[in-house]
Amino acid sequence: MNILFRLVIFTLLLTTKLFVNNAAAQEPIIRAKIEETGTIVPGQQVHLVLNVLAPGFFTSPPQFPLFALPHALVTLPDERSQNVTDTINGVQFSGIQKRYSIIPQVSGNYAIPTIQISFDYLEDGNPKQATVTSPPLSFTVGAAQQAGQPEFAASSLDLTQNFDRAPDKLQTGDALVRTLTVTATDTVAITIPPINVGTSLGLDQYVKPATITDNVPVGRMTASRRVETIVYTASKPGIFSLPAISYRWFDVKSQQPQNATLAATTVTVAPGLAKPSPPVGPIGHKFASRQLVWIVAITVVLIAAALAVVMRYRARLWKLLHDWDERRQNSAGRQKRQTVRIIKTGDYAQINAALEVWSRRNGYPSLKDWAETAKDKSLITQVEILQRQLYGNVRGEEVDRRVLVRGVENRISHKSATKPPALVGLNP
């Protein structure tokens, strides 16, 4: 009788345990990890990987929000979310994996806040809603290993240049277009530093605004790229030199500073071909002829004087023009027009990237914060649709570009933002 009683109690306990385990297995879960191991240096890209798992399948995509992390740049790369599966206690789970890119700017300990993610899913034909919260994680960024260590870090880097014509076959008045390209892996394009091209004595140069691109196919991998274009012009013949370029970066694989270089380039400018003057017909009156001579002489003197002034102060004048153009290129008005143009003509990935840059420029840590501060429900809705189109598995929703344009044109300045930006400023 005693043995039978113990057997009944054991059976009840085992059944209860299996029931509890099975019930726990039916609940959606989230897994989080830091992908990088070993030494992490300032400027190195760190990946936060989140796996959201649910029994059955998703009926709405999980919404992965951006979060603020002091002294770090946090982005969601344009890469597609990955579909994953897992079996937990005999139950089949479907999941979606997303990777955050975190680039710390200084050494120290970084504590990643918990992230809440909501979604809808279908289990055994029953629609359900769930919200999962990621566990807190942290990572440590070590101090620079040596004095003067570059702040930009990558796994690999390639520096190249090309010209639109042969540099040694120019004539006065010709323009030489030089394109410099930095291609780096395990980073984001916005953090790639500008190239110091120096100045060339005897040549005028104009630096166009740089272009940056992520997810550039390089073999079987993807990379980030920065392209800078410089236009050189020569007002006189001669032999000139474009200075050598040295571009310092930190190799996270070897944990050593590296230096990408380009040799100096010789530019040869020959005199331009003189254009023949049209024949002048005879003038009947001596007065008209004498008057024409004086007009030509005065014009030549004035032109010569103007050229002398320009040649003497050309460096200063060119710098003033360059500074003015740079201010114009970086003005808030131009940034607004460029953002509006991308919203009207670009694809969803380009629109999202442009709005992220616009939000940070105006003092908001994320696009979501910018939209919510505007207190415009239609703007918040369109931003959510845009994010679902990029990061979710649902297609077919169209973004109302007019609402996004109105949100940019009626932007709230960072001066009226309710909180200061959590990210430090960057100079791409």
User: What structural domains does the chain harbor?
Assistant: 2-141 (2.60.40), 155-272+313-329 (2.60.40), 332-416 (no CATH)
- What the block records as the tokens of 130 is 């769930």
- State the pTM of this model: 0.55
pLDDT of residue 279: 53
**pLDDT < 70 regions, the chain:** 1-25, 145-147, 273-288, 322, 324-331, 392-396, 411-428
pLDDT of residue 383: 87
The tens digit of pLDDT for each residue in 199-254 reads: 988 899 999 999 999 989 988 888 999 999 999 998 899 999 999 999 999 998 88
* Mean pLDDT (the chain, rounded): 82
Contacts of 89 (CB under 8 A, 6+ apart): 21, 22, 24, 25
Find out whether 178 and 240 touch, Cβ atoms under 8 Å.
no
pLDDT of residue 268: 94
